[in-house]
Chain A
């Protein structure tokens, strides 16, 4: 059938004959968007499929904990597993060193099945907070399991990624520490992104950009706030028109509050990670599974492309746990009933009012 149809009116749906063929690691989503995986299956589920192509993801770090590195590692490793080119910028002297810490996909599925709590008594069990028992039955999209590579992998953080994936790929590493201005970085991003033009039809490859700790104080440009903002704006517009996803992590406490708000506003998907206090008896009483938690992840904004309908999540705060110290899982917090009238906006806490700093609920 001909792919070009004559439009009878400007309102007729332009149906193509078949869904566009997608390269590995890409999935069709609602409203004509295409998703790629974040590398964390739980996060993909929360976000409704993954990161949509053309979106800018921002992660607000916590100065006290390196959890954003976990997110970045999984994101980058997922891209490499699918053969998606990667641009990685970081304030370290040698960003290539970080590639050595990328995890490898978990080998077999039986290892990592979520075991039921061994302390459960037999007999009558009262399912308080019953939703956590639904588990994997509710996965509606689970990638194609017909021999092709899966859309999203579970990563084993203890096993490093195979060398051939790191060496053979088109991976571009940039150290941003010595940049006195951002024009070099902008050029590098532009060159990298020009590999992924968008046209109707198939998408063979999507690109991933990961910029870590973008406003790190060691960087010479770090006090040029307006220049940084215009760089982000141009990156966002470039990413939007091409088949790519960019993720930027930054520490909100190092920015002035007005710029912090501007950065947050630019993001299509906004996440934040928060450290958790050790040996906190009150928190241990409030939350089940406190001992295994490594930190908190908050979802402030979910990207919505081609639609005006916002996503309203059931829960916006998740605990980050390392199952068997290998697999990153996100779990809803199980906690005492909270005052639901505190609204969710970026700066205030979501459904969780616990915080490791008194009074400062800004995630």
Chain B
């Protein structure tokens, strides 16, 4: 068997093409050849050719009804496409790979594939990344594997924040809270709620922040938790325009333990607040539900 990848590819192509002498394609050998060729190309750093070879190998495996191997090849192809910088290709290939994984009945690798795709393209095609993340999360939720979805939600929030779409970011955080609730991960849940409140405040939407706080307070555990108290202090300080209080709350350990993307907000809070302090009506009516136990702060 010649180790020259071009020859291998040519041979494999011949095996798969149907001619007069060949009535059925010999996928097994062809796939073997394609795989070898692809590996050789990768070593030789000929990424374009390697990617093509992998795609063909994947098709071969599909024909051999082994979706798992097919998916694996697709992923390799997509990784190479990432090296090349064909972001659309990357997205498509990873999507195809995830579909194949779903065919195998394995949701976890499927969502992993989508997650990798999203991470790869988030810098260049953020909207596509958002879509990929959302699909990945829904895949996991369908399979009752909410725990794994946390990281994806967090990444999704970071993307939204970068795009400055604060309502979307807050919505993503609330979905994180919901997923955490299903798994009884109360700490993550409360941190998600607090982050959502902070995001609303950062968008200068005090009403939404209050509404969010009141909604979250329906869960009694949240009211009495560190995060709940922090949230109420933040909202009251914000509506009073009390810079000192905001500074103090922002430096408290509860906020610093939140996600980096969100906790860095509170550092940015201050300059914005100082600029807008004069415009804030000081007699803003705050309809915060009173916390049950407020003496532990």
Co-assembled chains A and B: no
- Residue numbers of A with Cβ under 8 A of B are none
